[in-house]
Structure 1
Amino acid sequence: MELFGYDIQTIYLIGLVISGIGTLTFILFGDFLEGVFPDSFLSPTLIFSFLTLLSASGYIFEILLSFHSFLIFVISLVLALILVTLLNVFVLIPLSSAEESMVYREEDLKGRIGKVITSIPVDGFGEVLIEGVSGTIAKSAKSFNNEPISFDEKVLIIDSKEGVVYVLPYQNMKLKGGNEL
């Protein structure tokens, strides 16, 4: 079958090459494109995957099967839709939510225990290392009561404003049951 004066296999092959170039371009300039099209339902990743799968399956089916070209196009279209839906549901959505789980807010730091890695002078700044499940965070720190806090001392984070945590020296207090507080 011919379309626009070209064999249908040639059209599928050209579509595959163009979607491959688009995918490569998206890999290189993806951050810019996501800034241009923020939070759209049809992300460039889904569009390029759909076009690649449609073109590739159409080309392969045209070579292997002796069905009518319109039927091959419909089969390729349905296959591409199913595979892109599975890609979105089982890969892209879990990856996007996993990325968000690594993010923390300043409010989340309140009440956590850290260790001083750069001593905090009176009316000055130091640095505190906060360890957690998602990794280690180093933050600028200031004493909450304007008292010096020495290197390697445990501190309790009282507040966090504008990227600076306000800390107090942390003492292990025993509760009645013998557990540490």
Structure 2
Amino acid sequence: MQTLYLGCLALGVIFAIVSVLVGDLIGSALDGIFDIVSFDFLNPTVLAGAVTVFGGAGILLTRYSTLDDGPIVALSLLTAAFMGVLLFLGFVKPMDKSQTSNGFSMQDLPGMIGEITIPIPAEGYGEIMVKFGAGNSLHTASSFDHRPLLAGTKVVVIDVNDGVALVSEFEERRGVDI
């Protein structure tokens, strides 16, 4: 039994090392192959963690307890299942929900408020920074009104033409009675 426990522990450690070093390459090579049997709790991280815990618990219980092989296997399996559930609920599930995309389309720009980072001449190009989600993106910009705009000026994107944001100075209205 000691050999089984050591093998499980070694397999888990090797899996962890390989995952860190070449996990992205393997993941992209096998992308989508196992989608048919896609259960959230059958995540490779959870399975490898449970196998590693099974091996470690088996080794520790064999060395430091007076239990027979049957109870040691049962306790090792229970410990592995418990730690697998904790790993899934504490790490895998929250990380799955935390994935956000900072992707956007240039067609999303009209109506967005930005700030000029490089001054825009009346007939030329500058640069604006627009906030998308949790990040900022920089875009080549031109004045919609053909007026020069200084760095730090708040602008609104009016349109996008050939990948260039056409902007106008953003004017906030305060106290407007209707």
Structure 2 unaligned residues grouped into runs of 5+:
none
Deviation of 1:82 after TM superposition, in Å, equals 1.8
Aligned to 2:72: 72
Confirm or deny: 8 A CA contact 2:144 2:158 kept in the other structure: no
Shift in CA distance, 144/81, structure 1 to aligned 2, threshold 3 Å? farther
Query: What is the Cα-based RMSD across aligned positions, in Å?
Result: 3.1
Q: Deviations over 1:13-68 (max 9, x none)?
A: 13212210111110111212332244643332122211111111111111122223
Tell me if 1:14 matches 2:18.
no
Aligned to 1:5: none
Distance in structure 2 (CA, Å) of the matches to 1:43 and 1:96: 11
SS at match of 1:66: coil
Deviation of 1:132 after TM superposition, in Å, equals 7.1
SS at match of 2:50: helix
Deviation of 1:97 after TM superposition, in Å, equals 1.8
Aligned to 1:141: 140
Deviation of 1:110 after TM superposition, in Å, equals 5.0
How many pairs are equivalent? 168
Deviation of 1:117 after TM superposition, in Å, equals 0.7
Q: Which amino acid aligns with 2:60?
A: I
Tell me if 1:28 matches 2:21.
yes
Taking structure 2 as the reference length, what is the TM-score of the superposition? Answer: 0.74
Distance in structure 2 (CA, Å) of the matches to 1:97 and 1:162: 35
Aligned to 1:99: 99
Aligned to 1:130: 130
Distance in structure 1 (CA, Å) of the matches to 2:162 and 2:2: 59
Deviation of 1:105 after TM superposition, in Å, equals 3.5
Aligned to 2:61: 61
SS at match of 1:171: coil
SS at match of 1:142: strand
Q: Which amino acid aligns with 1:9?
A: Q
Aligned to 2:156: 156
Deviation of 1:168 after TM superposition, in Å, equals 2.4
Relative contact order: is structure 1 or structure 2 higher (C-alpha 8 Å, sep ≥ 6)?
A: 2
Tell me if 1:48 matches 2:48.
yes
SS at match of 2:99: helix
Taking structure 1 as the reference length, what is the TM-score of the superposition? Answer: 0.73
Q: Deviations over 1:149-172 (max 9, x none)?
A: 332211113456897644322112
Shift in CA distance, 16/108, structure 1 to aligned 2, threshold 3 Å? farther
Once the two structures are aligned, what percentage of the paired residues are identical?
Answer: 26
